Structures are given as C-alpha cells and as structure tokens.
Amino acid sequence: MSTAQARGADHFVIVGGGTAGWMAAACLARLLLRTPGPQKVSLVESEDIPTIGVGEATVPSIQDMLRYLNIDEADFVDATDATYKLAIRFRDWSGPGSDFFHGFGELGPTIDNLPLFQHWLREKIAGAPVPPLSDLSMSAQLALHNRFAKPTTNGNSPLYMAGYAYHFDAGKVAQYLRGYAEAKGVRRIEGRIIEVTQDDQGDIAGLRLADGREIAGDFFIDCSGFAGLLIGKTLGSDYEDWSHWLPCDRAVAMPTQGLRPIAPYTLVTARAAGWTWRIPLLSRLGNGYVYASRFCDDETARQTLTDAVDSAPVAEPRLLRFTPGRRRHPWLRNCLSLGLASGFLEPLESTSIHLIFANLFRFFDYFPRTVDCATLSQGFNARSVREIEEIRDFLILHYKASPRRDTDFWRYVTGMDIPDSLSAKSEVFRQQGKLFADYYDFFKPASWMAIYDGLGVVPDAADPLAALVPQDKARAILRDVTEGIRQAALTAPTHEAALSALLRRA
Ligand code: FAD
C-alpha cells in the first residue's frame, strides 16, 4: 500500500485493560483528545480474562508519566496504596549474609568529567581503606536509615544526587488510569475477542467479540498480555526466547499483612533457584518467589515463599508462568505491542512498567500519520530492541557475576555463556574499570558499578583518568561527599513521616 493511498491512523484500538492497556489509553488520550479532530481511542478488555497485575515496583521514570498526565502525586499515592522506593536491597547474592544496595540516582558527583566512584575504585584497588560504595549513594543512604527526601535542584545539597520511584498496587494503578482515560473520552468496550480480522494487505482490520459485535479500527495497540493476540497470534511476530540466559520462568506471589516501619526499598533475597521479593505498600506487603522451573518444582517454590514471608498471608499464593524474551518485531504493520505482549524480563530491577512507558513515548516520536507504517516501525523497533537488550544484559550480570555456587541453579547461571554484548562490556570493566552508557541505555554506569561491587567484582585497574586528579584531593572529596550524604540522610524525615505529609494533601 503506498502512502498516498493509505488510510489515516484515526481510530486507535487498544486490546487489553491491564497496566499496559490503561497506560496506553491515558497517554493517547492526553496526546490526541485535547482538541476536536478525527482521532478517537477505544479500549477492549474482558473481565473474564484476569490481568497479571503483580507489577508493584517501579523505577524513577514513572514520574515522567505522572508529569506527562499532569497527575497530582498525593492523589496518585493515595489511590494506589503507594509508598516511596529509593533503592533495591540485595540480600545473599554473594552468599549467605551478604547485603548491598542499588540506589537510584548518582554514586557521588563527577570530578573533571569522571564519576567519583572511579576514585573510590582506585583507592580500593590500591588497598586503601574505603567506605562501602553505598555511602556514595544519597538514595541508598536514605533507604538504609529508613528516611525519605526528594532530590533538589540545589547543587549545594547532596540530595541533588538522589532519585526515587514508587511501590504501588498495579491493579489500582490500572483503575486510576482508566478513570483518567475515560474522563478524557476513551471508549471502553467490555467483551472477549474471539477473532482478529485482517484486510487483503495483511493489516489488522478489526476484532470480533464473543457476543457478535465487530470493532473496526485503523491502528491497534496489543496490550493483551502473554497471549499476544494481535502481534503474535495474528501477525506472527515471533518471540525470541532468552531462557538460556535468564532461566527463571515462574513466579509464585502472595500478599501478606503490612509491617512497620514501611521500608523505602524493595528487598530481593537470593534463593536456591532464583530470588524472592518483598515490596512494602501502604496497607500490605507484596511477596513473591521468582524461580527456574528447571531447578525447582512449584510445591517447593510455594513452600520457600511461605517460609520466607514475615507476616500473615492475606491471600492464597498465585502461580505465574512466563518466558523471558521479546517480540522480534514489537511494532508490525498497523499494530504496536506493549507490556507483556511485547516481551518480558523477570522483575529483578522492576523494568517492565518502565518499558511500557518508554515504548509508548518512543511510539509518539514515530507517531504514524497513516496505517502504512513499514518505515516508521523499523526505526522504532531498532531502538526498542536496543533498550530491552541492554536491560537483559544488566539482569544477566546479577547472576553471572555472583560468587555463589551452592545449588545447581547457581552453578548453571554462573557457568553459562553470556551474550557477546555483555562479555564485551564486562571485559572493558575488568581491564580498566570503565563503564559506558549510550543514549538509549536505561542503566547508567552508577547502576552497573553498584551491581559489580555488590557481587564482589573488582577490576584489575581503575579508569586511568582517575590518576589525573591528585590522590590527596580525591580522598578529601570522597570524605566530604560521604559525610555530606550521611548528614543529609540522618536529618531527612522518616519514610512514614514523608508519606503522611504527602497524604495530608490528598
Ligand atoms: P495483563 O495484565 O496480562 O493484561 C492483559 C489484558 O488483556 C487483560 O485486561 C485481559 O482481559 C486482556 N485480554 C487478553 N485476552 C483477551 C481477549 N481474548 N479478549 C479481550 N481481552 C483480552 N513490572 C514492574 O514494572 N515491576 C514489577 O515489580 C513487576 N513485577 C512482576 C512480577 C511478576 C511475577 C510478573 C509476571 C510481572 C511483573 N511485572 C512487573 C510486569 C507487570 O506485571 C506487567 O508488565 C504489567 O502488569 C503489564 O501487564 P499487561 O497489561 O501487559 O498484561
């Protein structure tokens, strides 16, 4: 179909009403429905097909979505049972008793274009006494002391190096965004899709529902979850399976009663065949065990989770199966896939909801005028794949670099082959401590450094540029920065005081 003949992309039909579907609906409504025009947005979902809805931990980019939608933070936190998240705390990843933080934000300031942690690394490699790396992270220090403060733009306060996100009830987030989207004119259609029809070019033409209704559209957004109803089953965009690198393929999830104080971090604890999470919400704890079915049966997993929780269950354990990987073509013809329909990586670094939003905004960059999308989708797909592959490599690092060898699972993940992209990155770090980030990389050098150090990986040498700053000067800066961060953490309000202050505004 040539561009001249192609019909306009005027009616957007979203399939699925989980987190992905309602995020897409809210953001499209904000983008398209402000001014009268031909564009309209519909969302089809079925109450008979449950959502996954266990997505509870996020990363700081979630704030971009709230800002874009002009949503008031206090209102959002109140409606979604949310708490603040400053960091992920890793327990037992380098063996029993080990404990480290991956905090959001920076790991110290930069000195002459080089991050302070490179000077810290230089001292460590030289055998000089150094504080724990997390003393350089404003967010990790706040998290450690159970306190919370927002980043400032004031460069005189170490808080400018902090970052934060939220823990929330993903089901409530979908409900909240549904209210937002419907108020802005998105039409919700309840019904089970039994057939997806295509035109003679192969583009998607419409949906047939179980009650016989037909929904026609111009452009379709597949948010149908693992089913991948349009992108996979109809258009045949196959799924690249990454389970040889990320063998965890199941999770058992179980909420329990809330505990005080409410921690401002996600706790992830390494286990015999994977890891457990503990996510504090305002009214309860989210808990789960992500495990590899090759190394652990479901009953053992259920028991591991039951033994690991610290408070009384408020619901039965729920088992979830998944295949780590991605759609080869996340955007194909007149169909964009988002959320679980486009791929899934285990939630160790809470990246799924970020990817929904990142791809939605990337889609806006490539927004189609007509349904003839072949060229636009190529650019979109290349960038989208680049981002998820970088996240994949970062997740693999958590396993590959661990010194654990105590179970078949840990022997497998520490001995497995890794993608060339990760080998190359790791080798550069090993040789001279260098860490790079490209524009599309979600995880910046501070994140990679936190994981390398947490798992006990020390490079042969620090970045040679560190030697350009006199050692005395670097030591003095290191001392002043860690002391400034410590003071700022200890004088910040507790997490619960910060939440109460926020909720008084709601
Ligand atoms: P779903 O929630 O599965 O929604 C699919 C929708 O499609 C439903 O509304 C369903 O009714 C509809 N549908 C399907 N078939 C049909 C049909 N035939 N007719 C009509 N409607 C249909 N992400 C994070 O960012 N942080 C986390 O901490 C996190 N933890 C996770 C833990 C686990 C164990 C898992 C599995 C995922 C986790 N995620 C996390 C991912 C997160 O849950 C998902 O990315 C997010 O919920 C998006 O899901 P979705 O909307 O794509 O799919």
Q: Are residues 263 and 307 in the same domain?
A: yes
Q: Are residues 455 and 361 in the same domain?
A: no
| Residue 111, marked binder | no
Q: How many CA atoms within 13 Å lie on the side-chain side of 374?
A: 7
Q: What residues are paired with 331 via a beta bridge?
A: 336
Q: List CB contacts of 37: < 8 A, sequence separation 6 or more.
A: none
Q: Are residues 183 and 312 in the same domain?
A: no
Q: Are residues 334 and 234 in the same domain?
A: yes
Rg for the chain, CA atoms, rounded: 23
Q: How far is 330 from 238, CA to CA, in rounded Å? A: 9
User: What pLDDT does 371 receive?
Assistant: 85
User: What pLDDT does 5 receive?
Assistant: 63
Atom of ligand 1 nearest to the CA of 48: 11
Residue whose pair of structure tokens reads 């960091």 in the numeric block = 87
Q: Which helix (H) or strand (E) holds 219?
A: strand 219-222
How many other C-beta atoms lie within 10 A of the C-beta of residue 45?
25
Give the CATH number for residue 175: 3.50.50.60
Alpha-carbon torsion, ordered 339, 442, 168, 299, to 10 deg: 70
Q: Choose the final residue of a domain: 371, 389, 407.
A: 389
Mutation test residue for ligand 1: of 65, 215, 224, 305, the one with most atoms within 8 Å of CB: 224
407 occurs within a structural domain? no
Q: How far is 442 from 231, CA to CA, in rounded Å? A: 25
Binding pocket residue ranges, ligand 1, CB within 6 Å: 16-21, 44-46, 49, 51-58, 170, 192-193, 223-225, 227, 229, 251, 253, 288, 320, 322, 339-341, 347, 350, 352-353
Residue nearest to atom 9 of ligand 1 (CA): 17
Q: How far is 129 from 460, CA to CA, in rounded Å? A: 17
Q: How far is the CA of 170 from the centre of ligand 1 (A)?
A: 9
Q: DSSP assignment, residue 195? A: E
User: What pLDDT does 439 receive?
Assistant: 77
Q: Choose the final residue of a domain: 344, 372, 389.
A: 389
Alpha-carbon torsion, ordered 108, 111, 117, 122, to 10 deg: -150
| Residue 19, marked binder | yes
Q: Are residues 184 and 309 in the same domain?
A: no
- In this structure, what are the phi and psi dihedrals at residue 366, rounded to the nearest 5 degrees? -105, 25
| Residue 105, marked binder | no
Q: How far is the CA of 343 from the centre of ligand 1 (A)?
A: 11
Active-site residues: which are they? 85
232 occurs within a structural domain? yes
293 occurs within a structural domain? yes
Instruction: Count how many domains the chain has.
Output: 3
Mutation test residue for ligand 1: of 19, 167, 173, 190, the one with most atoms within 8 Å of CB: 19
- Is the pTM of the predicted complex or chain greater than 0.90? yes
Q: How far is the CA of 339 from the centre of ligand 1 (A)?
A: 7
Q: How far is the CA of 430 from the centre of ligand 1 (A)?
A: 38
Reported ipTM exceeds the 0.90 cut: yes
Q: How far is the CA of 147 from the centre of ligand 1 (A)?
A: 31
User: What pLDDT does 55 receive?
Assistant: 65
- 347 lies in which domain range? 11-56+169-240+324-389
> What pairing do the DSSP bridges indicate for beta strands 265-271 and 239-241?
unpaired
Q: Are residues 228 and 267 in the same domain?
A: no
Residue nearest to atom 38 of ligand 1 (CA): 55
| Residue 24, marked binder | no
395 occurs within a structural domain? no
User: What pLDDT does 436 receive?
Assistant: 86
> What pairing do the DSSP bridges indicate for beta strands 256-257 and 284-291?
antiparallel
Q: Are residues 329 and 316 in the same domain?
A: no
Q: Are residues 200 and 303 in the same domain?
A: no
Q: Are residues 156 and 182 in the same domain?
A: no
Q: How far is the CA of 326 from the centre of ligand 1 (A)?
A: 15
Q: How far is the CA of 352 from the centre of ligand 1 (A)?
A: 10
36 prior amide bond cis, ω within 30 = no
Is residue 470 packed enough to be buried (19+ CB in 10 Å), middle (13-18) or exposed (0-12)? exposed
6 occurs within a structural domain? no
One-character DSSP codes across 221-269:
EE--GGG-IIIIIIT---EEE-TTTS---EEEE--EE--SS--SEEEEE
Those residues of the chain that have pLDDT short of 50 are 1-4
Is residue 492 packed enough to be buried (19+ CB in 10 Å), middle (13-18) or exposed (0-12)? buried
User: What pLDDT does 437 receive?
Assistant: 84
Of 284, 273, 232, nearest to 251 (Cα)?
273
Q: Choose the final residue of a domain: 268, 285, 320.
A: 320
One-character DSSP codes across 135-185:
GGBHHHHHHHTTB-----S-TTSGGGG---EEE--HHHHHHHHHHHHHHTT
Q: Treating both helix axes as pointing N-terminal to C-terminal, what angle do 374-400 and 408-415 enclose, rounded to 10 degrees?
A: 120
Residue nearest to atom 31 of ligand 1 (CA): 55
Atom of ligand 1 nearest to the CA of 286: 28
Q: Are residues 226 and 334 in the same domain?
A: yes
| Residue 184, marked binder | no
309 occurs within a structural domain? yes
142 occurs within a structural domain? yes
Q: Are residues 209 and 345 in the same domain?
A: yes
**Could you give the C-alpha distances from 411 to 51, 307, 416, in angstroms and in order?**
34, 24, 8
Atom of ligand 1 nearest to the CA of 351: 25
2 occurs within a structural domain? no
Mutation test residue for ligand 1: of 61, 83, 340, the one with most atoms within 8 Å of CB: 340
User: What pLDDT does 1 receive?
Assistant: 43
Q: Are residues 285 and 432 in the same domain?
A: no
Contact 98, 135 (CB under 8 A): no
Atom of ligand 1 nearest to the CA of 224: 7
